[in-house]
Amino acid sequence: MQQAVLARIDRVTDDVVALTLAADADEGELAPWEPGAHIDLSLPNWLTRQYSLCGDPADRATYRVAVRYDPLSRGGSEYVHRFLRPGRRLGVSLPRNHFPLVAAPRYLFLAGGIGITPLLPMLRAARARQLPAELVYSGPTAESMPFADELRPLSGVRIVETKRQGRQDLEALAATLEGDTLVYCCGPASMLAAAEAVFPVERLHTERFQPVARAFGPDTAFEAVCARSGGTVAVPADESLLDALAHAGRPLPSGCREGVCGSCEITVLDGAPEHRDDIGAPEGRMYPCVSRALSPRLVLDL
């Protein structure tokens, strides 16, 4: 965990603020990151929330994130908008990246609303490498779209105001796509579903802020063996592996508790996990906030 000072809060739309987090004077620099990365921000009200980094990766002195006020807030965005003030020291995790910019000769970026945040540094990175990159950025009106003013003057950027222009026709975009283009999409679930329906899966990279509703088999009890520290934890059918480990005195970091942020990632040494996350767990890893076991026991590197 790093410590940072909240240097500035800038209102970028009626319901979005940009936070500039500055490196703690003692530490000098913040940890490096690549476009697509996000951080966990530990708020003074004991909540932890994940935000995509949308500043400049070359700037090691500050991080920039944007926070949209969610009327259904579980306390995170409401706290940021109503109570957070410059000067607060905040805990910031090391950046994690489940949405990396894979090398390609050209890119198409599709953003919806606050989904612009991980795509901003990607667009800049593609431009810095002098690669052809187009951004189609949709939202109800330009005034409601964070960073629209910053983006509008750039070539290859199309701002789509859906209230006036209707939705971008993704099918038409897909039909004109050159064969070696990688498509990066971040926005509301409806936009991600529309993109998944028209772009080839091997060329489409998406990032979700909300889990996809899916059905899994009934939750069953299993055992978790902690190989390093010793001991076996019983995981009842009505409790997550994350909570069972915490109750057994083995708490893990957790941010979203919905299988989208990656902060609770652990290594599985043996057994068959049932992956229920929306990240796509790497081989030998799992996210215990949502994932369970298909085998009677899992052996964990804990």
- Measure the CA–CA gap between 31 and 41, rounded to whole angstroms: 14
CB of 48 to ligand FES, least distance (A): 9
Query: Between residue 207 and residue 266, which ones bind ligand FES under the rule CB under 6 A?
Result: 254-257, 259-264
Query: Between residue 10 and residue 39, which ones bind ligand FES under the rule CB under 6 A?
Result: none
CB of 252 to ligand FES, least distance (A): 8
CB of 50 to ligand FES, least distance (A): 7
Q: With contacts defined by CB under 6 A, how many residues of the chain interact with ligand FES?
A: 13
Q: Tell me how far CA of residue 171 lies from CA of 6, 19, 107, 167, in angstroms.
A: 42, 36, 17, 11
42 touches ligand FES by CB under 6 A = no
Please, which residue, 185 or 256, has the CB nearer to ligand FES?
A: 256
- Measure the CA–CA gap between 158 and 111, rounded to whole angstroms: 10
Q: Where are the alpha helices (DSSP H) in 129-260?
A: 148-151, 162-165, 170-175, 189-198, 241-247
CB of 253 to ligand FES, least distance (A): 7
Please, which residue, 87 or 280, has the CB nearer to ligand FES?
A: 280
Backbone phi, psi, residue 110, to 5° = -120, 115
106 touches ligand FES by CB under 6 A = no
* Interacting residues of 155 by C-beta distance below 8 A, sequence separation 6+: none
48 touches ligand FES by CB under 6 A = no
CB of 239 to ligand FES, least distance (A): 15
Q: Are 107 and 133 in contact (CB under 8 A)?
A: yes
Measured torsion, CA atoms of residues 259, 191, 102, 160, in degrees rounded to the nearest 10: -140
Site map for ligand FES, 264-293, x if CB under 6 A?
Answer: x------------x---------x-x----
CB of 17 to ligand FES, least distance (A): 23
Around 280, how many Cα atoms within 13 Å sit in the side-chain half-sphere?
Answer: 7
76 touches ligand FES by CB under 6 A = no
Query: Between residue 78 and residue 97, which ones bind ligand FES under the rule CB under 6 A?
Result: none
191 touches ligand FES by CB under 6 A = no
- The tokens of 74 are what? 């579980």
- Measure the CA–CA gap between 158 and 177, rounded to whole angstroms: 16
Footprint of ligand FES (CB under 6 A):
254-257, 259-264, 277, 287, 289
